[in-house]
Amino acid sequence: MDNASRRFLAYIREERNCAENTVLAYRADLEQLRWVIAAGKWGPASLSSLTPESLSGYVNWLMQQGYEPATVSRKIASVRSFLKYLNTYEGIGEPRLSEELRSPPNPRRQPRVLSREEMAALLEAPAKFDNPRALRDRAILELIYATGFRATEVISLRLDDIDLNRREVYLSPSRDYPVPLGTAADSMGHYLRRGRPHLVRKPQVRTFFLNQRGQGFSRQGLWLVVKRWAAVAGLSHDISPHTLRNTLAQVMLSEGKTRQEVQQFLRLSSPNAVWVRRKDPRP
């Protein structure tokens, strides 16, 4: 195996014009492969030891060492290139070896969820100000946290979609899918009476949330609202409208809702999209 490795390294240096640092990285990865094969149950580290079983054992060993997924993928790519070289240029091994050697999927990253104290601080941040923009922004934050609406659903809301008497909001013109506003109804009422009239430039505009120009929000504009008040509240800068949606999902789970119930309320494609977290972040 050592001789084959040297021939492969010469090939990528001379024929593929790889940089010396790249060649050294390949060499280190192949030496690690040889060591793992030799230390395993597959016998001496020879080319005949490169079987689906031994390669699978090598991948499992990499995973157990705590390497980052990107590092594991890079090491596997080095071995795959080596196997392809052996089969293509030296007629050694079977093509399926390199085809079956696949990188493990990257683990899903757990979404950002606000704690009880962080969520309270975010909702209270605009409450310290008494101006149209602060009234609007508190209504936006409370609406997302109460309903789990996506950014596009928030910015597309129209006046006719809101029924403050029934404390409900509707996602479709047919009004056959009411979503309870909960405590967000109060802040939305304050905005509608005391905030929105100061933002209106054209009375015919029926969009519920208006920006400083009297127009509807863009997705980026809504994102900036959350970012601005997160900064005022002293929170980290990785908070977005989706963070509030994630936090609501965890609150519902902590209150005893099933994944299927959370899926239905948040209009998710699958209950598997609902992450389970024990800590209850609700203020």
Sign of CA dihedral 229, 113, 235, 123: positive
Count CA atoms closer than 13 A to 232's CA, side-chain side.
20
pLDDT of residue 278: 42
- Residue-wise burial string across 67-91, b where 16 or more C-beta atoms lie within 10 A, e elsewhere: eeeeebbebbebbbbbbbbbbeeee
- Residue 1 CA to residue 26 CA, distance in Å, equals 14
pLDDT tens digit sequence for 51-77: 888 888 888 888 888 787 788 888 999
Q: Phi, psi (5° rounding) for residue 152?
A: -65, -30
CA separation, residue 118 to residues 23, 54, 266 (Å) = 49, 49, 22
pLDDT of residue 58: 85
Is the Cβ–Cβ distance between 245 and 266 less than 8 Å?
yes
Which domains are delineated in the chain? 2-100 (1.10.150), 116-273 (1.10.443.10)
Query: What average pLDDT does the segment 193-201 reach?
Result: 96
pLDDT of residue 138: 97
The lowest-confidence range among 88-92, 126-130, 208-212 is 88-92
Query: What average pLDDT does the segment 208-226 reach?
Result: 95
pTM of the model: 0.62
Is the Cβ–Cβ distance between 95 and 18 less than 8 Å?
no
Query: What average pLDDT does the segment 6-22 reach?
Result: 91
In this structure, the chain runs to a length of 283
The lowest-confidence range among 79-88, 151-160, 161-170 is 79-88
For the chain, the average pLDDT equals 86
Query: What average pLDDT does the segment 127-139 reach?
Result: 95
Which residues lie below 8 Å from residue 20, measured CB to CB, with a gap of 6+? 13
